[in-house]
Amino acid sequence: MTTAYVYHDDFTKHDTGRGHPERPDRLRAIKKRLETTKLVEQLEPLKFEPADMKWIKRIHDDAYIERLARACKNDEPFIDAADSAICPKSADIARLAVGGVLATTDAVMKSKADNAFCAVRPPGHHAERDRSMGFCLYGNVAIAAEYLLVEHKLERVAVVDYDVHHGNGTQHIFEERDDVLFISLHQHPKTLYPGTGFEREVGRGKGEGYTLNVPLMPGGGDTVYKRAFDDKVLPKLRDYKPQALIISAGFDAAKADPLAQMTVSADGFEQMSKALIDAADDLCQGRVIACLEGGYDLDALSDGVERLVRVLLKAAK
Ligand SMILES: [Zn+2]
């Protein structure tokens, strides 16, 4: 079958201003790489609409959604924190990004595609229920997980986040629940934004044991990540037996990335992507939805995405 693909030129219209690392050129670089490698010809592009707000409201508070809309309307430069830069169109584009991700969950669940890659921005994994953080407006992946549980009636969804930053938003949204397993590998919180994601954060109440944080010391590369996957990530996934797997695919653990200090190579990203997609093959009929998060060096970002897409396409054949 196929790998579904979500991209929209409007995603480049979320204008974060001059010098901002989370910039439209990130998506242009990805688009170009998928074209020059002709990988795009093998992908199944999906048509999609802005998400129904009812899905966004299941994850985010009304007050935040209204505040974001107002800030965009008033052409304010940012929402909540200076790094979450916005333009008048940003709320609509964030809603369109969610729509794209939800369209891939439908395609995968209705067996119209085996798996999917979403080239979206703004990213989502730092967005909290009630506020923006770290360039993220709506929790794309969190909303997709909720949608899989509610609309597609799954009972267990896993999210693995290999972006170099802790996926605090996704963690906090689900940390008291056992129907979403959240696993985040990231540079150690004592050394990197957002300063959360310690090993001791394992979920709370009913959710205890359904959050796994794997903080890694700065400088670590492919070998360190491979060990973390073999020792922690993959056993936890196998124990949980998810019915679908979402990857928060950030590529800022790359050696060249300007925002962090890990040293993952293109081979390393391929290794991680492949390990997850192989696990999904064993556990959940290969249902994988990979969703772009960070990655701020354009070459390293394009390399990481290319490797991920190659692995997705291979698994879909
Ligand atoms: Zn990141």
Dump pLDDT digits (tens) for 187-198: 999 999 999 999
Dump pLDDT digits (tens) for 219-270: 999 999 999 999 999 999 999 999 999 999 999 999 999 999 999 999 999 9
- Report the share of the chain in percent with pLDDT over 70: 100
Angstrom distance (rounded) from CA 58 to CA 54? 6
Supply angle C-alpha 28, 269, 183, rounded to 5. 105
SS3 state at 111: coil
Beta bridge pairs of residue 186: 215
State residue 277's pLDDT score. 98
For residue 317, what pLDDT band results from cuts at 50, 70 and 90? confident
Gap between the terminal Cα atoms of the chain: 6
State residue 17's pLDDT score. 96
Q: What is the mean pLDDT of the chain?
A: 98
Tokens of 215: 């903080």
| Arithmetic mean of pLDDT, 60-81 | 97
The reported pTM is 0.98
Task: Please count the structural domains in the chain.
Answer: 1
Kindly give the distance from the C-alpha atom of residue 253 to the centroid of ligand 1, in angstroms, as a whole number.
Answer: 8
Is residue 287 scored above 80 in pLDDT? yes
- Report the share of the chain in percent with pLDDT over 90: 99
Catalytic residue among 14, 126, 165, 188: 126
Angstrom distance (rounded) from CA 44 to CA 49? 16
Dump pLDDT digits (tens) for 196-233: 999 999 999 999 999 999 999 999 999 999 999 999 99
Is residue 133 scored above 80 in pLDDT? yes
Angstrom distance (rounded) from CA 287 to CA 270? 18
Beta bridge pairs of residue 115: 3, 288
Beta bridge pairs of residue 117: 5, 290
Angstrom distance (rounded) from CA 122 to CA 68? 13
Tokens of 218: 């700065």
Kind of pairing between the strands at 44-45 and 3-6:
parallel
Closest by CA to 257, choosing from 287, 297, 305, is 297
Kindly give the distance from the C-alpha atom of residue 110 to the centroid of ligand 1, in angstroms, as a whole number.
Answer: 31
Closest by CA to 186, choosing from 176, 171, 174, 175, is 171
Which amino acid, one-letter code, is at 168? N
- Strand order through the sheet with 288-292: 44-45, 3-6, 115-118, 288-292, 244-249, 157-161, 180-187, 211-216
Q: Which domain holds residue 191?
A: 3-316
Angstrom distance (rounded) from CA 292 to CA 112? 21
User: The CATH number of the domain where 140 resides is what?
Assistant: 3.40.800.20
- Per the annotation, the verdict on 126 as an active-site residue is yes
State residue 110's pLDDT score. 97
The protein residues having their C-beta less than 5 angstroms from ligand 1 (an ion) are 163, 165, 250, 252, 294
Kindly give the distance from the C-alpha atom of residue 153 to the centroid of ligand 1, in angstroms, as a whole number.
Answer: 30
Kindly give the distance from the C-alpha atom of residue 295 to the centroid of ligand 1, in angstroms, as a whole number.
Answer: 6
